[in-house]
Amino acid sequence: MPKIKPIKLVIIILCIAVIAVLAWKFLKPKEQQPQYITAEVTRGDIENNVLATGTLDATKLISVGA
């Protein structure tokens, strides 16, 4: 087996790496754009029903006034 000079070996490895990166970039499947679900804006009350027992405490208290 003929001996390959170190500089040639580095060039060959770099060429293989460049070809691999280019192949990965151009051959990978395209990502699909996200699908958004939209709805028409309507006025109405905001309701949230909770089926539980116990007490509720505020996570943050704010003092209003002077």
Helical spans, DSSP H, in the chain: 6-27
Q: What is the CA radius of gyration of the chain?
A: 32
Beta carbons within 8 Å of 12's beta carbon, 6+ residues apart: 4
> Model confidence at 14, in pLDDT bands (50, 70, 90)?
very high
Above 70 in pLDDT, residue 1? no
Tens digits of per-residue pLDDT, 28-63?
888 888 899 999 999 988 888 878 888 888 899 888
The three-point CA angle 56-58-63 to 5° equals: 140
* Residue-level pLDDT at 16: 97
Give pLDDT, residue 6. 85
Is the pLDDT higher at 66 or at 40?
40
